[in-house]
Amino acid sequence: MARSKIALVGAGQIGGTMALLAAQKQLGDVITIDIAEGVPQGKSLDITHGRSLIPTSSTLTGSNSYEALAGADVVIVTAGLPRKPGMSRDDLLDVNFGIIKTVGEAIKKNAPNAFIIVVTNPLDAMVYAMQKVTGFPAHRVAGMAGVLDSARFAALVAEALNVSNEDVTALVMGGHGDTMVPLTRYCSVGGIPVTQLLSKEKLDEIYKRTANAGGEVVALLKTGSAFYSPAMSAIHMAEAYLKDKKNVLSCAAKLNGEYGVTGLYAGVPVIMGAGGIEKVLEVQLDETEKKMFDVSIAAVKSLVEWVDKKMSA
């Protein structure tokens, strides 16, 4: 059986970390592509030097050409610019939309059968744009958000209870931003609902901290945003696809009537395997959760309307 090929578009903080993780997990050969000359080559070479220590047989190559996407089974996209001082949200949307358009067209041309995982922010709008630009079936284009938000929620629960993080499962839905919906009712610790182990006050605190987790890291780093856990999250999704694991995880998926939403990407639990997003799972939401989900969807909708306007311009 031929080795899988994992293409990483964007060799920045997240891209470089993903290259290391993919090699460490022996997911296949890793090709990293970036417009910055020397950066994808340098990072690939650096990891290559340490291959005997991990150890791994994965090969790592860097390129400045999108043609290197050829034959990729999975493409993970982090290409984009971070928001800089003085830049409005619209300015960022504009720049990153342009990048997603270029990258999307290149994927369509060079890797027409790939499964795409989008990480670039603002996530819900960028993954929507990627699917439109490539014209790929929606089950082959997913956004990385829920895996990370759920992992952050689970980490805080494990810390609060002083238990192993391995035993905590959590589910965060909705858009990737302030309006995300961490579902305390669906979080469990060794099979025990967390609501039986932590007070409502503590859970509310964890909930707020989950929604602000990215901001907390930015405030500490000062010159960049979180990259280790986003990289782990995207690689978790790639592994589910490549190994046909049929993992149940939360990601930005295009909804087709589920949760009363059609045509938008939003964070929902799905089954991820060789078919990409094989199924969107519909969990029951109580009235408060549903209201929060709807608020989150409204936020996503305004971003998507912006993308639609750009696409038809």
Nearer to ligand APR among residue 119 and residue 183 (C-beta): 119
Q: Are 64 and 40 in contact (CB under 8 A)?
A: yes
Under rule CB under 6 A, how many of the chain's residues touch ligand APR? 26
DSSP secondary structure letters along 58-119: --EEEES-GGGGTT-SEEEE--S----TT--HHHHHHHHHHHHHHHHHHHHHH-TT-EEEE-
Residues 71-130 close enough to bind ligand APR by CB under 6 A: 78-80, 82, 99, 102-103, 119-121
Kindly give, in sequence order, each residue whose CB lies less than 8 Å from that of residue 199, ignoring residues fewer than 6 positions away. Answer: none
- Residue 120 CB, shortest distance to ligand APR, in Å, is 4
Q: Is 62 in the site for ligand APR (CB under 6 A)?
A: no
Residues 254-283 close enough to bind ligand APR by CB under 6 A: none
- Residue 270 CB, shortest distance to ligand APR, in Å, is 20
- Residue 231 CB, shortest distance to ligand APR, in Å, is 8
Give how far Cα 88 sits from Cα of 96, 113, 117, 137, Å: 12, 35, 26, 32
Whether 49 is catalytic: no
Nearer to ligand APR among residue 148 and residue 181 (C-beta): 148
Nearer to ligand APR among residue 4 and residue 120 (C-beta): 120
Nearer to ligand APR among residue 261 and residue 303 (C-beta): 303
Q: State the Cα–Cα distance between residues 73 and 156, nearest whole angstrom.
A: 34
Run of H or E including 150: helix 146-161
Per-residue buried b or exposed e for 55-69, using 16+ beta carbons within 10 Å of the residue's own CB: ebebebbbbeebebb
What is the token pair recorded at 237? 């999704």
Give how far Cα 294 sits from Cα of 102, 180, 211, 301, Å: 32, 10, 16, 10
Nearer to ligand APR among residue 44 and residue 121 (C-beta): 121
- Selected from 6, 11, 180, 285, the binder of ligand APR by CB under 6 A is 11
- Selected from 230, 267, 269, 276, the binder of ligand APR by CB under 6 A is 230
The closest residue (CB) to ligand APR is 12
- Residue 181 CB, shortest distance to ligand APR, in Å, is 20
- Residue 23 CB, shortest distance to ligand APR, in Å, is 17
- Selected from 4, 6, 8, 10, the binder of ligand APR by CB under 6 A is 10
Q: State the Cα–Cα distance between residues 295 and 43, nearest whole angstrom.
A: 41
Q: Are 111 and 131 in contact (CB under 8 A)?
A: no
No. of helices (H) and no. of strands (E), the chain? 9, 14
Cα angle, residue 62 at apex, residues 52 and 227 outer, rounded to 5°:
80
Nearer to ligand APR among residue 230 and residue 269 (C-beta): 230
- Residue 219 CB, shortest distance to ligand APR, in Å, is 15
Q: Which of 49, 139, 176, 236 is catalytic?
A: 176
Which residues are marked as active site? 176
**Rule CB under 6 A: which residues touch ligand APR?**
9-15, 33-36, 39, 78-80, 82, 99, 102-103, 119-121, 224-225, 227, 230
